[in-house]
Amino acid sequence: MRHCRYLLPWAVVLFCLSTSHAQTMDKPFDGLYLGANAGSQNLFGGSFVDGVDVLAQESRFVAELFAGFRKQFWKSRLLAGAEVQIGFTDGALMHHDPSKPLTINYKNSFQNGYGLTLGAAFFKKRNLSAYAYAFETKRKFDVSIRDAFGTYKQKDEQGMLKYGLGLEAKIWRGLHARTTLGRQRVDFGDLETNIDVDDKWDFTAGVAWQFHIKLKQ
């Protein structure tokens, strides 16, 4: 039940929607929205062994749910908003060094994030949006280490900046399709690592439902 606190905002959103009704969709990207996407994201786990931050890194499948709110302004051509995300990851990574010997397993299945979006709407009907995003994303790994002296466990908690570009298009009524392409900024400070983390591309594709709601008088 540890993820229940992340589901609370969704329950609040649905409650608010139950007290509202639809209005004319004169701004395709204005207001509250919910959605889901899936794709490939750059995952890496870390552990401290003999003073070294031993890393394992791979591009892995991630599925996300998201909720956000944005406003269109300046003749509905510009838009700005905020978004929260929860994600479910294929985050089982491994580092193996037979020369020591050393085997490390990193396990992660969940991530969450929040951030801002800023973009523009195009065409006469303003039904295509191009935007930039910046999100703070957090992950936790359960780490199991086996070396010549035995087996022990660690925890790895991460916070990183994810940034990139996205496209979103209105398909039908409030249904939108969107895709993103981005990277992430990782800073290990003065820590010694076994590898340099590759700045691999993240790619997602998904759908969103844009609500145009008005509270009852």
Structure confidence at residue 22 (pLDDT): 38
- Amino acid occupying residue 2: R
Q: Are 117 and 102 in contact (CB under 8 A)?
A: no
Q: Residue 148, SS3? A: coil
pLDDT at 23 over 50: no
Q: Are 38 and 64 in contact (CB under 8 A)?
A: yes
DSSP 45: E
Entry field: residues in the chain: 217
Lowest-pLDDT range of 12-21, 78-87, 143-152, 187-196: 12-21
Structure confidence at residue 215 (pLDDT): 57
Do the bridges between strand 31-49 and strand 52-73 make them parallel or antiparallel, or are there none, so unpaired? antiparallel
pLDDT for 152-205, tens place per residue?
999 999 999 999 999 999 999 999 999 999 999 988 778 899 988 888 999 999
Lowest-pLDDT range of 5-19, 36-50, 122-136, 143-157: 5-19
Structure confidence at residue 21 (pLDDT): 39
Structure confidence at residue 212 (pLDDT): 82
Q: Are 143 and 105 in contact (CB under 8 A)?
A: yes
Residue 6's pLDDT band (cuts 50, 70, 90): low
Structure confidence at residue 186 (pLDDT): 83
Range of the domain at 33: 4-215
For a pLDDT cut of 90, what percent of the chain falls above it?
Answer: 77
| CATH at residue 186 | 2.40.160.20
DSSP 191: -
Number of domains in the chain: 1
pLDDT for 83-99, tens place per residue?
999 999 999 999 999 99
